[in-house]
Amino acid sequence: MKLSSYINQINQSTIEMPGNEGTSSLEQYLRNGMDSILGKQSGQSVAGEVIQISGNEILLSLGKNQLLQAKLEGNMSVQQGQMLTFQIRNNAGSKVVLSPLFENIGQDPNVSRALQQAGMPENSITVAMVKAMMSEGLPIDRQSLFQMNRLINTNPQVDIQTLVQMQRLSLPITPENITQFEAYKNYQHQLGEGLCDIADAFTQTFQEITGNQSMQEGLQFYQEVLNILTEKAEQPVVDGYQEQVEKNVTLKESRGMPRDGMISQPVTELLSREDITELTNALKQSGAPESLVKSMLLGKLSGNELLAEVGRLLSEDEAVDKEALFKLLDGKEFKQVLKNEMNRQWLLMPEEVAEENSVDKLYERLNNQIKQLQQALSQTVKSDTPLAKTVANVSGNIEFMNQLNQMFTYVQLPLKMQNQSANGELFVYTNKKSLAKKDGTVSALLHLDMEHLGSIDVHISLTEQKVATKFYLKDDSALDLIEANIDLLNNRLNQRGYSVSAQFLKQEEDGSVMDEILKQNKNVSILAGYSFDARA
C-alpha cells in the first residue's frame, strides 16, 4: 500500500479551504508543504492531519501554512481529523513517494471505540489523550474523557502526558504545579540548589535597590531580611552586652539548649583573622557598641546574634551612620556571615536528619521565612528579578512537595555537607492502610546528588530487624569507595540491634524519584502512608 504525491497533479478546483483563503493563499500553502517534504531525506518521516477527503484524494495539514495534496493507493481508509505518519521513500525529481507507517494502521481499537462512544472526534490530540490515559491506568469512560479534554483545551501548551499523569496523582492542575511537576521529571527540582541561589542573589538585589532606588529603601529591605532570619534571636541590651550574652549562654547551657535554638557558630569560627579585623573596623565605623565588638572578638557572639544586632542598628534612624552601615553590609565579611546563617537555617546536617521531627521543623521554618521574604520582596523589588524568581520557585517547590505528600511519602532533604551542599530525596513505598507490606517489609528509596560521588540511589528494605540495602552508583571508583567504608554504617546499625546486608551495583541509566513515583499503582487507587506536610 503506497501513497503518492505529485507536484504537477494538484487539482485546485476540488479543494475548498476552511475560512476565506483565496486561490493564491492555497497555492502558497501547497508550495510550502512540498518545500517541507523536499527538504527532507529519504527514510525520514513526516506527519500530517487529514483536513479534507475527496474520493481517493486527501488534503493533509503538515503544519502552519503547509498543505499537501495526495492520492491514496490501495485500500487505505482514513477519516477527517486523523493524524497520519509517513516515511519518505523517494523525493527525487517531481515525484514524492510516501509509505504509511505501521502506527497508522496499528491503532488500538479500544482508542477508537472509546472516542466513538464518548461522541468525540478522532484526531491526533484525542488519540494521544486516550492512549496516555490508558497507559496511566485511568478510566476512559465518557465523563473521564470529557474532563481530560477540558484540561487539555485549558492548557494547550502543556504536554498531554504531563496533564494525564498529574490527574492520576490527584495533583491540582495549576500553572505553578505544572511548572514544578515538569521540573521534577526533568531533574531540575533540587530545593537545596534554589536555597543556595537565594543566598547568592540576595546581595546583588540589595545593591540594585540602593543603586536604582535609594539607600534608605535598600537598608530597609536588608533590615526586614535580617529580622526574618533572627526572629527568635535573643534581645540583649546594648549596655553591658558582654555580660548579658554570657548570662544567656549560661542559662541555655543549663537547660541543655544550643545558644540560639539551633547551633550557630561564633563569628570568629566563620571568618579568617584578616576578615575578623575588617569586620571589626566596619562595625566600629557603623556605630556598633564597643561591648558588642569586644564580645565578638572573645568568640562569644554567634553569627545569628551578629545579624540580630546589625538589624537593630538598621532600625535606629538617627544614631548610626547610614553610609558606614551600607559599607558594612556590602562587605564580603558580613556577606559571608549572612550566607552561612542562611545555609545553617535552610540546610540540614546529615546527623540532624535522624533527629526526631528535624525535617518537619526545617520545613516549618522554611515555609514561614520564604513567605515573609516574598512579602518583603513584593513591596520593594520587581517580580522579574533573579532573587524574586528564585524565591517564588522555592515557595512553589515546597507547596508542590506538600501536594505530592497527600498521596506519597516523599520529601527532599537539602543537605549541608563538609565544604559543600548536596540534595537528597526520600521516598517510602507505602500505602494508606499500612506502612508495611503484608510480609511486614518497609521499603524506601534514598536518592543523593553529591558533588564528588555523583548520583547515588540507595534502595532500603526493612523486615523486622533485618536491613537490606542496594547501592547504585554510576562511577566504579565511587562504588569501590562506598563498599570500602560500608562497615562504618553496618557497625552503627548493628549497635542499634539491626542485621545488615548490602549490595553494590552499577547504575546503568539515569532515573529520578519522580520516575519511581509514576510507576506506582497505575491501575489501582493512589495510596500513601503518612502525610508529611511541608507547610506544617
Q: DSSP per residue over 31-48, as a string?
A: HHHHHHHHTS-TT-EEEE
What are the respective helix, strand and coil percentages of the chain, to the nearest 5? Answer: 50, 20, 30
Q: In whole angstroms, what is the distance from residue 13 CA to residue 69 CA?
A: 12
- Measured CA to CA, the distance from residue 216 to residue 84 in angstroms comes to 64
pLDDT value at position 405? 86
- AA letter at 407: M
Q: Is 441 left (phi over 0), alpha (psi -120 to 50) or beta?
A: beta
Average pLDDT over residues 52-63: 84
Query: Do 82 and 119 have their domain in common?
Result: no
In the predicted model, what is the mean pLDDT of residues 464-479? 88
Q: 7 and 97 share a domain?
A: yes
CATH assignment at residue 37: 2.40.50
Q: Is 124 found in the same domain as 13?
A: no
Question: What pLDDT score does 536 carry?
Answer: 33
Domain contains 467: no
Q: Is the pLDDT of residue 107 over 50?
A: yes
129: its cell numbers: 489523550
Q: Which residues of 26-61 are buried (b: 16+ CB within 10 A; e: fewer)?
A: beebbebbbebbeeeeeeeebbbbbbbeeeebbbbb
- Read off φ and ψ for residue 183, nearest 5 degrees: -65, -40
Distances (CA, A) of 244 to 13, 20, 236, 240, 312: 96, 84, 6, 6, 16
pLDDT band of 305, cuts 50, 70, 90: very high
pTM of the model: 0.69
Residues 142 and 266 in one domain: no
- Who has greater pLDDT, 328 or 533? 328
Least confident of 100-109, 133-142, 246-255, 274-283: 246-255
- My answer on whether 232 and 163 are in the same domain is no
Local confidence band at 528 (pLDDT 50, 70, 90 cut-offs): very low
Check residue 373 and give its pLDDT: 93
434 Cβ contact list (under 8 Å, min separation 6): none
pLDDT at 320: 65
**Residue 214 per-residue DSSP state:** -
Residue 360 has pLDDT above 80, yes or no: yes
Strand intervals (E) in 293-451? 409-417, 420-429, 441-450
| Lowest-confidence region among 154-168, 434-448, 471-485 | 434-448
Any domain includes 225: yes
pLDDT over threshold 50, residue 340:
yes
pLDDT at position 339 over 50? yes
Among the listed ranges 212-216, 242-246, 491-495, which one has the minimum average pLDDT value? 242-246
On the question of pLDDT at 71 being above 90, the answer is: no
* C-alpha–C-alpha distance, residues 518 and 405, integer Å: 14
CA distance 154 to 146: 12
Residue 175 lies in a domain: no
Q: At 91, is the pLDDT very low, low, confident or very high (cuts 50, 70, 90)?
A: low
C-beta of residue 520 within 8 angstroms of C-beta of residue 408: yes
DSSP state of 245: H
The mean pLDDT of 311-337, rounded to a whole number, is: 86
248-279 confidence digits (pLDDT tens): 444 434 333 343 446 688 999 999 999 999 99
How far is it between the farthest Cα atoms of the chain? 98
Choose the final residue of a domain: 327, 347, 367: 347
Contact in structure between 324 and 287 (CB atoms under 8 Å): yes
Same domain, 133 and 251: no
Does the structure show a pLDDT above 70 at 218?
yes
Tell me which of 444 and 524 has the higher pLDDT.
444
| Element containing residue 50 per DSSP (H, E) | strand 45-54
Task: State the pLDDT at residue 94.
Answer: 57
Task: Give residue for cell 543549663.
Answer: 254
Reference 60, options 70, 73, 50, 45; nearest CA is 50
C-alpha cell at 319: 544614631
Indicate if the pLDDT at residue 526 is higher than 50. Answer: no
Task: Report yes or no: 187 and 512 within 8 Å, Cβ to Cβ.
Answer: yes
Whether residue 319 is found in the same domain as residue 222: yes
Domain end (from 347, 363, 394): 347
Give domain status of residue 44, yes or no. yes
Q: Indicate the number of domains in the chain.
A: 3
The predicted pLDDT at position 469 comes to: 92
Please check whether residue 146 lies inside any domain of the structure.
Answer: yes
Quote the pLDDT of residue 479. Answer: 86
Predicted local confidence at residue 16, as pLDDT? 42
153-202 residue pLDDT tens: 999 999 999 999 999 998 999 999 999 999 998 888 889 889 989 988 88
Burial of 361 (0-12, 13-18, 19+ CB in 10 A): middle
Residues 267 and 318 in one domain: yes
What letter represents residue 119's amino acid? G
- List, as one string, the DSSP characters of 129-168: HHHHHHHTT---SHHHHHHHHHHHHH-TTS-HHHHHHHHH
Rounded Cα gap, residues 360 and 39, in angstroms: 58
pLDDT-derived band at 362 (thresholds 50, 70, 90) equals very high
Please check whether residues 164 and 267 belong to one and the same domain.
no
Q: What is the pLDDT of residue 76?
A: 59
CB atoms within 10 A of CB 303: 25
Q: What pLDDT score does 47 carry?
A: 80
Mean pLDDT over 432-457 rounds to 74
Three-state DSSP class for residue 331: coil
CA angle 279, 284, 288 (to 5 degrees): 105
CA distance 337 to 343: 10
> Is residue 431 over pLDDT 70?
no
Q: Cα(432)–Cα(234) distance, rounded to whole angstroms?
A: 43
Higher-scoring residue by pLDDT: 245, 161 = 161
* Residue 419: count of CB within 10 angstroms of its CB: 6
The mean per-residue pLDDT over the stretch 395-412 comes to 90
Structural domain span for residue 157: 111-168
Same-domain check for residues 218 and 343: yes
Task: Look up residue 299 and give its amino acid.
Answer: G
Q: Decide if pLDDT at 7 tops 50.
A: no
Does a structural domain hold residue 47? yes
Burial 5-14 (b: 16+ CB within 10 A, else e): beeeebeeee
Q: State the DSSP code for 205.
A: H
The Cα–Cα gap between 303 and 265 comes to 6
The pLDDT of 455-477, averaged and rounded, is 89
Within 255-288, residue ranges assigned H as helices are: 267-270, 273-285
Phi-psi region at 5: left, alpha or beta (left = phi > 0; alpha = psi -120 to 50): beta
pLDDT, mean of residues 228-254: 51
Would you say residue 412 has pLDDT above 70? yes
Query: Which of 66, 81, 105 is the C-terminal boundary of a domain?
Result: 105
Which of 226, 176, 87, 172 shows the shortest CA–CA distance to 395?
176
- What local confidence, expressed as pLDDT, does residue 229 receive? 93
Q: Are residues 122 and 232 in the same domain?
A: no
Same domain, 84 and 139: no
β-pair partners for 67: 61
Average pLDDT over every residue of 311-321: 78
d(CA 3, CA 531): 56
Contact status, residue 217 vs residue 209, Cβ threshold 8 Å: yes
pLDDT at 437: 56
pLDDT of residue 99: 66
Which has more pLDDT, 156 or 240?
156
User: Looking at the domain assignment, is residue 526 inside a domain?
Assistant: no
- CA-to-CA distance for 440 and 443, rounded, in angstroms? 10
Give domain status of residue 397, yes or no: no
In the prediction, which pLDDT does 186 show?
86
Q: Provide the pLDDT for residue 318.
A: 62
Q: Which residue has the higher pLDDT, 341 or 77?
A: 341
**pLDDT value at position 188?**
84
Q: The C-alpha cell of 509 is what?
A: 541509566
212 CB-side CA count, 13 A: 9
Residue 73: pLDDT band by 50, 70, 90 thresholds?
low
Instruction: Name the one residue in this structure whose C-alpha cell is 535522624.
Output: 354
- What is the rounded average pLDDT of the residues 9-14? 36
How far apart, in whole angstroms, are the C-alpha atoms of residue 271 and residue 293?
Answer: 15
Q: What mean pLDDT value characterizes the chain?
A: 79
